[in-house]
Amino acid sequence: MSGISKTILVTGATGGIGLAVCHRLAKAGNSLVLAARDAGKLQSLCTELSNTCPGTSSWISVDMTRDDSVKKFSEELNARNVILDGAVLMPPQDPPTNDPLPSSDKWREVLQNSFVGPLSLLKAAIATMKPDPANGRRSKIVIISGISSVQVLGHYASSNVIRCAWLAEAKTLAFALGEQGIHVNTLSLGGTLTPGYAASLEKRAAKAGTTLAQRLAEETSNIPLRKYGAPDEVAAAVEGLLSAFSDNMTGLNILHDGGFTRAY
């Protein structure tokens, strides 16, 4: 992708990270296709972006966990003749359960909701891409992941397995699609202070009988940069990965964790 306006799909568009990503990409003049389940929130965001940013925005409601919903999403993309230059995929993630051996049914559900369903949406997005690397037109996919892609989280079996599955699939796609000019990278986030994450931090502070500032200082004391990430920082990294910055980069897992991960 070059600096000119592109058409980019953003899933999870109305969430804490999605909002920051959408605002940044729309301000830069890109046209966005916003996706999430709640049509009301998508419409409000679309109106806000259209009123404040140069690029055009549209939205499609989809439940990534459901095959029938993803099929409709794909048909809608095709009906609108959308040609995507980029896609930012934010697979839904179950909360941690502390259970290292979830039941078989639970695993089937997790794999469907966090991997199979979102992958089928990504497949639909890829089908619309028309890269032409010989003429400088490249398509960029950024899959939002987490640090359990590289470092096991003892309380979070589903995250450990799903994040590694995305790593493997992204690498596979990078090899398969690179010649066509389609780039696939994962961006693995450490704790990121979205409103949702801040609310859970506040609860932990109240439970521990400390202030929010004290709790935050404690939780980030083992992070070299001594802070959690901000949604705006994630948005800046996503914009970079969608830009010419990544024209010679694919199949990478980029850590966005304040230096938390110790492995090389």
Ligand X SMILES: NC(=O)c1ccc[n+]([C@@H]2O[C@H](COP(=O)([O-])OP(=O)(O)OC[C@H]3O[C@@H](n4cnc5c(N)ncnc54)[C@H](OP(=O)(O)O)[C@@H]3O)[C@@H](O)[C@H]2O)c1
- Residues near ligand X (CB under 6 A): 11-18, 36-38, 41, 62-65, 90-93, 144, 146, 189, 191-192, 194, 196-197
Where does residue 105 rank: exposed (0-12), middle (13-18), buried (19+ CB within 10 A)? exposed
Distance in Å, CB of 181 to ligand X, minimum: 26
Our CB check for ligand X shows the closer of 124 and 131 to be 124
Query: What DSSP state is assigned to residue 137?
Result: B
Our CB check for ligand X shows the closer of 11 and 31 to be 11
Distance in Å, CB of 184 to ligand X, minimum: 16
C-alpha 204/C-alpha 35 separation (Å) is 31
Our CB check for ligand X shows the closer of 37 and 137 to be 37
- Three-class SS of residue 128? coil
Cα dihedral across residues 154, 14, 242, 136: positive or negative? positive
Dump strand ranges (E) for the chain.
7-11, 31-36, 57-61, 86-89, 139-146, 182-189, 253-256
Distance in Å, CB of 17 to ligand X, minimum: 3
Distance in Å, CB of 13 to ligand X, minimum: 6
Our CB check for ligand X shows the closer of 17 and 174 to be 17
**Which residues lie below 8 Å from residue 196, measured CB to CB, with a gap of 6+?**
15, 16
Distance in Å, CB of 212 to ligand X, minimum: 16
Our CB check for ligand X shows the closer of 74 and 194 to be 194
